[in-house]
Amino acid sequence: MFETERLRLRELRQSDLSLVLEMFNNYEFQENGGVDYTVPRGDNFIEGWAGWAKSCLFFAIIEEKESSKFLGFIALKISVTKNRDAEFTIGIIASEWGQGFGTEASRWLIGYGFRGLNLHRISLTVAATNDRAVAVYRKVGFVEEGRKRAAMWSQGKWVDHIMMGILEKEFLLA
């Protein structure tokens, strides 16, 4: 278990799965995450998601320290070990957006990724229409590295994906 000023980052528990399912069954959350068609999710989805979480290099449930309230999850997944490049993922329940929890958890995990896990870079992809997430990622040091044009169908139109990254040397100099 790890802690920041306001947050606890802990292991995934069976009891978290219903909360994760509820989080993914929020329309705005699904539209901003863009993993697939926006549809009601069920047991098959959550079983697959739990398998994904277990396959990550680092995965944690985010909860508020004071109340132990479930806030979401954060992860790093590495595909090619020798490149030391991990894919960053975070999900915060919609009712808690705008309170700085994503920024706080992201800063912690980026630091841990470079100092504790010896990563060289951390990468992510975000929908260009997800202004809130893009602002958080920029605030914690990610820079735009490119765009995949018209990569995601969302709310009746094609949306770009923004590829962002942060290098170890950039983080350590900041």
Query: For 136-169, how does the pLDDT look when each residue is reduced to its tens digit (9 = 90+)?
Result: 999 999 999 999 999 988 888 999 999 999 999 9
Over residues 8-63, the pLDDT tens digits come to 999 999 999 999 999 999 888 888 876 677 778 888 989 999 999 999 999 999 99
Instruction: Please tell me the pTM assigned to this model.
Output: 0.94
How far CA 6 is from CA of 3, 36, 68, 73, 146, in Å, comes to: 8, 32, 10, 15, 33
